Amino acid sequence: AGLRDTSRAIETVLTPQLDRLMYAYSDRNLATKYSTELDVVVDPVLARTGAWYELFPRSWPAEPGRHGTFQDVIQHLAYVADMGFDILYLPPIHPIGVTHRKGQNNTVTAEPGDPGSPWAIGSEEGGHKAIHRELGTLDDFHALVEATERHGMKLALDIAFQCS
């Protein structure tokens, strides 16, 4: 069996008529209602509609051959802002684990000196509450947040709950 055109089915299930029928005949026998209505914000408007630029700070050093820092990223913010981006998006900034560390280009075997994946969080240097020492300090991070906002952008961080 090959792929079939599902556009008509999608068009049908998105009709207001089907929405009304589903609401009218839904089974509410086990439904409960909380007495206070709560607002739930999943993403701020800018996160839903803005243009995102993903940047790995370690790959933006001022001098080739060394690990990039938050201060190095600050020096490139005008470049990112001038392209019209609203949000600067960074991978996790925590210390990178050594257990099953990934190698260059995500290979499963790391060589000495390979930086590893920023999503493999946790080492003797710390975990989710620490900053990778080669990126800078907490003050450097705060400086990056402020500089990003001065350039008319917001900073977003990826969060990874797994650890090494």
38-86, pLDDT tens digit by residue?
888 778 888 889 999 999 999 999 899 899 999 999 999 999 999 999 9
C-beta separation of 154 from 86 below 8 A: yes
pLDDT at 30 over 90: no
Of 93, 95, 60, 88, nearest to 156 (Cα)?
Answer: 88
Instruction: Write down the pLDDT at residue 3.
Output: 58
Beta-sheet pairing, 52-54 with 154-157 = unpaired
Q: What's the CA gap between 155 and 51, in Å, rounded?
A: 12
Tokens of 65: 């051959």
CA atoms in the 13 A half-sphere facing the CB of 158: 19
pLDDT of residue 1: 46
**CA separation (Å) from 47 to 42, 43, 54, 62?**
10, 6, 13, 29
The predicted model scores a pTM of: 0.71
Report the distance separating Cα 150 and Cα 76, nearest Å: 13
Task: Write down all domains in the chain, each with its CATH number in brackets.
Answer: 36-157 (3.20.20.80)
Q: Rounding to the nearest 10 degrees, give the CA dihedral for residues 85, 87, 90, 94.
A: 160
Average pLDDT, the chain: 89
- CA dist 27 and 9 (Å) reads 24
Nearest-angstrom CA–CA distance, 64 and 67: 8
